[in-house]
Homo-oligomer: A and B are copies of this chain.
Amino acid sequence: MKAKSYSRQELIALLRRQGIAPTHQRLEIAHVLFSRCEHLAADQILALVNERHAETSKATVYNTLNLFRDCGLIREVIVDPKRVFYDPNTQPHHHLYNIDTGEITDIPAADLAISGLPDLPPGMVTEGIDIVVRVRTL
């Protein structure tokens, strides 16, 4: 996943396409998420957004992350029981999780195959499959 540098106009278009009003705070948060391609937790995003000049509250960060998630702009990564990480990469992919450092790395789903999954109980539909490879530094 490339760390494309989105212009302000591109970010505005990105939000509008989802029917999201491009407020200053949402643009700042989108910028933090999409300019670097990392897996960030809410408190890290809050800190990054207010780095230069405090102007976005904790409530707005959480509101916005939930909004972006509901619109499919970002996804949640559940690997650490302590906090949720937000992933700007919404392509199907999986994760390598270093349990010592907490580092999360993408694993492309392209060349990966799972076989032998049992059939789903009737009336259920798959929402997604998440694979987490937990690694330790030797």
Contact = CB atoms under 8 A, between A and B. Distances in A.
Contact of A124 (B76, B129, B138): B138
Given A125-B138, A127-B135, 20 more contacts: A76-B81, A78-B80, A81-B84, A99-B127, A112-B116, A114-B131, A115-B115, A117-B133, A120-B135, A123-B138, A124-B135, A125-B135, A126-B134, A127-B136, A129-B131, A129-B133, A129-B134, A130-B131, A131-B131, A131-B132
Interface in A80-138: 80-81, 83-84, 96, 98-99, 107, 111-118, 120, 123-138
Question: Chain A binding site: helix, strand, loop or mixed by DSSP?
Answer: strand
A51 B2 CA distance: 54
6 contacts: A81-B84, A123-B138, A125-B138, A127-B135, A130-B131, A130-B134
Contacts of A128: 134
Going nearest first, the 5 A-B pairs with the smallest beta carbon separation are A112-B116, A127-B134, A111-B116, A124-B135, A130-B132
A86 to B, nearest CB: 11
B126 A133 contact: yes
